[in-house]
């Protein structure tokens, strides 16, 4: 976060709620960052949270007494809970456990934190943190929907290794990412949330998107890769989330923040991206392959750094083919009752339409987004892009040319077209 954006938080009255997750240790860093940004911070901890981090730590970091109980006459004599509810401009709960989310979704007020949430008109945000199976559970997803409808903004969760040994969505966003989300205007909202009166045509759908490059190691210090920045794929993820979808973003190595409400899985190689895609696409409605996947990898990765050999002017590397991720997902579609709709990209430097049509056919895609990556200021690394969309759906074949525009706008058009294809495709 830049100093300028941190200043936008100065003086903001933030009530930081902490519930009982292992991620509670990160809340100390979050409290510190909030204070550094000039926020006024009051901390409320649930009973269970105190098993993970002590109120004393938070008190030392914020310089304010930490509230832990609704029925505490001494604390109530200071700032009563209703006063505290009125004081807060923002209620930020991090971590928010599955249990706390369930209680809030039900409108319960059985401890201080839930009571404050009911009693306060403040802007409300939470950073969920739980085991991946708990996050995916239909009951939790139902609560996510309900909380979003009630005006909660969900920050994350992120995806990756979990404390319990599982891998998947449910990790609390890092404190720095939560800080970045805090300064976003309300329109940048998480999946399933009513977009301030906007339409949510993707509500209830699961969209999986690959983004960025892959890295194929040659030795411990070198790799083969390409210039993809991830911007196009991340813009697609943000657009799908804004339209109400649950979004799983599988990203190669990029330096971009995760869009609000998007579950992110980080990978390095094409084979890792392939594995994550197969796992997540198993229950998705739309799969979009925007990643620039390396077609080849080194047949053998050297255990030690490859050395220059005196007298030899050339070095030969033997490369072998990587799996074609999107073609495999399209095959999966053929065996699982017509799901998902598969959207590919084609990065071309000549004969855009010819090569794109060939990929549409050969990889058995429903739609392809063809971009000319030889045009300066568009495609790889740029903020803008232009594309030719080709598709076939229940109404036959179609096409549209999208002129140069910001990737965020192009992404929205692509998602809307994919939703159109999904609606009109024949039922299998
Ligand atoms: O990331 P940015 O800097 O914003 O740039 C965006 C972009 C130019 C990378 C993006 O718009 C784009 O064109 N992505 C696809 C790049 C690519 O690898 O295209 P391709 O024509 O080589 O591949 C065709 C399709 O097959 C793509 O959907 C690709 O994800 C997929 N593929 C390719 C190889 C492979 N082994 N597995 C795949 O799934």
Ligand 1 centroid–CA 294 distance in Å is 9
Ligand 1 centroid–CA 292 distance in Å is 4
Ligand 1 centroid–CA 324 distance in Å is 11
Give the CA dihedral 289, 294, 295, 298, nearest 10 degrees.
Answer: -150
Summarised one tens digit per residue, pLDDT across range 388-398 is: 999 998 888 99
Could you say which of 164, 284, 290, 421 is catalytic?
164
Which residues have a Cβ under 8 Å from the Cβ of 51 and sit 6 or more positions away? Answer: 20
Using the atom order of ligand 1, give the atom closest to the CA of residue 343: 28
Ligand 1 centroid–CA 227 distance in Å is 11
User: What is the C-alpha to C-alpha distance for residues 208 and 220, in angstroms, rounded to an integer?
Assistant: 31
| Domains recognised in the chain with CATH numbers | 3-183 (3.40.50.1950), 191-298+316-423 (3.40.50.10300)
Using the atom order of ligand 1, give the atom closest to the CA of residue 234: 4
Binding-site residues, ligand 1, Cβ < 6 A: 210, 212, 228-233, 270, 289-293, 295, 322, 324-326, 344-347, 359, 371, 373, 379-381
What's the pLDDT score for residue 14?
A: 97
Summarised one tens digit per residue, pLDDT across range 259-298 is: 888 889 999 999 999 999 999 998 899 999 999 999 999 9
Please tell me the pTM assigned to this model. Answer: 0.63
Residue nearest to atom 35 of ligand 1 (CA): 324
What's the pLDDT score for residue 79?
A: 80
7-to-2, 10, 15, 399 alpha-carbon distances in Å: 9, 5, 18, 46
Give the other-Cβ count within 10 Å of 296's Cβ.
Answer: 14
User: What is the C-alpha to C-alpha distance for residues 280 and 285, in angstroms, rounded to an integer?
Assistant: 10
Ligand 1 centroid–CA 211 distance in Å is 8
Is 164 marked active-site?
Answer: yes
Per-residue confidence at 337, pLDDT binned at 50, 70, 90?
low
Using the atom order of ligand 1, give the atom closest to the CA of residue 407: 4
Of 213, 296, 328, 346, the one to substitute when testing ligand 1's pocket (max ligand atoms within 8 A of C-beta) is 346
Of 272, 273, 347, the one to substitute when testing ligand 1's pocket (max ligand atoms within 8 A of C-beta) is 347
Per-residue confidence at 190, pLDDT binned at 50, 70, 90?
very low
137-to-151, 188, 287 alpha-carbon distances in Å: 21, 25, 21
- Encode 42-75: b = buried (16+ Cβ within 10 Å), e = exposed: bbbbbebbbebbebeebeebbeeebbbbbeeeeb
What's the pLDDT score for residue 294?
A: 98
């Amino acid at each position: 976060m830049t100093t300028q954006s941190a200043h936008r938080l100065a003086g903001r009255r933030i009530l930081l709620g902490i519930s009982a997750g292992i991620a509670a240790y990160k809340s100390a860093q979050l409290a510190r960052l909030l204070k550094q940004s000039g926020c006024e911070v009051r901390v409320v901890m649930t009973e269970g949270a105190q098993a993970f981090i002590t109120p004393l730590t938070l008190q030392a970091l914020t310089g304010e007494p930490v509230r832990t109980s609704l029925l505490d006459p001494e604390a109530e004599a200071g700032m009563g809970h209703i006063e505290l509810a009125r004081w807060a401009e923002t209620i930020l709960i991090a971590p928010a456990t599955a249990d706390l989310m369930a209680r809030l979704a039900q409108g319960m007020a059985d401890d201080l934190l839930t009571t404050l949430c009911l009693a306060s008109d403040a802007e409300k945000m939470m950073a969920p943190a739980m085991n991946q199976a708990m996050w995916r559970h239909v009951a939790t997803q139902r609560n996510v929907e309900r909380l979003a409808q009630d005006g909660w903004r969900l920050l994350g969760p992120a995806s990756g290794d979990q404390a319990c040994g599982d891998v998947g969505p449910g990790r609390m966003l890092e404190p720095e990412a939560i800080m970045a989300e805090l300064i976003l205007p309300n329109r940048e909202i998480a999946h399933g949330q009513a977009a301030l009166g906007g339409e949510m045509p993707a509500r209830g759908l699961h969209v999986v998107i690959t983004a960025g490059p892959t890295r194929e190691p040659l030795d411990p210090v070198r790799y083969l890769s390409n210039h993809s920045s991830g911007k196009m794929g991340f813009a697609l993820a943000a657009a799908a989330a804004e339209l109400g979808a649950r979004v799983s973003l599988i990203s190669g190595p990029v330096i971009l923040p995760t869009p609000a409400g998007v579950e992110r899985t980080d990978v390095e190689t094409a084979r890792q991206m392939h594995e994550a895609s197969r796992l997540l696409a198993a229950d998705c409605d739309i799969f979009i392959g925007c990643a620039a996947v390396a077609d080849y990898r080194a047949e053998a990765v050297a255990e030690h750094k490859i050395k220059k050999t005196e007298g030899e002017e050339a070095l030969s590397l033997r490369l072998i083919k990587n799996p074609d991720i999107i073609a495999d997902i399209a095959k999966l579609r053929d065996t699982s009752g017509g799901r998902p709709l598969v959207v590919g990209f084609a990065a071309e430097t000549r004969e855009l339409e010819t090569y794109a049509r060939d990929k549409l056919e050969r990889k058995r895609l429903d739609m392809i987004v063809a971009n000319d990556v030889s045009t300066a200021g568009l495609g790889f690394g740029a903020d803008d892009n232009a594309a030719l969309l080709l598709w076939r759906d229940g109404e036959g074949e179609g096409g549209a040319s999208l002129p140069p525009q910001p990737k965020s706008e192009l992404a929205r058009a692509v998602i809307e077209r994919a939703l159109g294809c999904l609606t009109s495709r024949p039922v299998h």
